[in-house]
Structure 1
Amino acid sequence: MSVNYKIIDTQKIVDYIISFPNGVSVDDIILYSGADKLRVYPALFELEQSGWVEVLEREELGAPSIVRKKKIKEDK
């Protein structure tokens, strides 16, 4: 039975982002989440495509630099 490191690293990234509700830099995610640094950008891309994460700032070439968990709009 093989271990799916992609799922494990994505969960580490999700857990780290959740602890910063106002946003966190991708550099901090790479340094402190515990996820493999080569999996961070692909995981963030998938999380953005799924609507779970929103990108607050992007680098010049479009890579995310600050992200946060997408806030759910509540009906009033």
Structure 2
Amino acid sequence: MGNILAFLFGLVSLAIVIPATIPFLGWANWFALPLIGMGVIVGQLSSTSKAGRNFCLVVLLIAIVRLSLGGGIF
């Protein structure tokens, strides 16, 4: 059950991160980071399957790369 919840956190975060790749919308990644963090924690605490956690980590990587390219704001 925790794996499904982590995957849902990842999907909601991805829905925020994808539009945030547009220039001057990079600040939206800051709203996605807490959701991604919650998804990673829930995914880590879930049972044997870690697919939800890994999906959240990929979304986190995309958000961090985008924030680093924009200097943290743009």
**Which TM-score band (shorter chain)?**
0.3 to 0.5
Instruction: For CA contacts below 8 A with separation 6 or more, give which structure has more relative contact order.
Output: 2
**TM-score with structure 1 length normalisation?**
0.41
Which structure shows the higher helix fraction? Answer: 2
